[in-house]
A and B are shown apart, each in its own frame.
Chain A
Amino acid sequence: MTEITIGILASFGAIFVLLAAVGLIRMPDTYLRISVTTKAATLGIGLLLVAAAVFFKDLSITTKVLAIILFILLTAPVSAHLIGRTSYFSGVKLWKDSVLDDLEGKYDKSSHKLKSGIEEFPEEKPDQIAED
């Protein structure tokens, strides 16, 4: 029974990792690749680690596995956000069929500040740009 559980968990984990790899090859755009990586790989690695925890049946190893899974779940969105921000600044183009770019014209490319789009004091803007 335990072996069947381990087999099912490991199979789903490996399939998710394979889907992430295929998505990394097939996706047409850097931003879509970031999305594939963070979602599928996190679930796949989580299932593989849970399979190891089920196999060893030890409290200390289960705690270790839970710590690894929690760490990956916490850090994957943070690193994806950082690398997506960097790729937007470095001028990576969106896919030609992408319909919406919410940040169009709102990021200041030189100072890396985000504008809200509704500027309360529009007359102050030229001075700030001149100072920079």
Chain B
Amino acid sequence: MTLYDFLYYIILPILSISVILIMFRFLKGPSIVDRVIALDLLITTGIGIIAVYSIITNQPAFLDIAMILALIAFLSTVAFSYYLEKRNK
């Protein structure tokens, strides 16, 4: 079994199952805070999928997008918490 097969048939399905589970919580979430947390973890899992894809396709340029996604995840969480707290004031 080569590294390509291992990543393609084992690692990526595990990450996809994680995305499905997190998406379930995103749709179900009792409060809006649960949805924000699920969105944050969804983007973080996306960074991991991008890292695995950059290994599979041998394209290191994909890691730039991973960095930008990390920035967007942090900014979105901060903005959501700021405005939610303002709304409840």
Q: How far is the CA of A68 from the CA of B68 in the complex (A)?
A: 9
Closest to A82 in B: B81
Does more than half of chain B's interface fall in helix, strand or loop, or is it mixed?
helix
Report if A75-B74 is in contact (Cβ < 8 Å); known contacts: A10-B7, A14-B11: yes
Q: Which of A17, A22, A56, A91 contacts B45 (CB 8 A)?
A: A17
Report if A24-B25 is in contact (Cβ < 8 Å); known contacts: A14-B15, A52-B54, A52-B63: yes
| B85 and A3 contact, CB distance less than 8 A | no
Q: Which of A15, A42, A45, A83 contacts B36 (CB 8 A)?
A: A83
| A21 and B44 contact, CB distance less than 8 A | no
21 pairs across A/B with beta carbons < 8 Å?
Answer: A11-B10, A14-B15, A17-B15, A18-B14, A18-B15, A18-B17, A20-B41, A21-B18, A24-B41, A25-B21, A25-B25, A30-B37, A37-B40, A51-B55, A52-B51, A56-B60, A61-B63, A68-B63, A78-B74, A83-B81, A86-B80
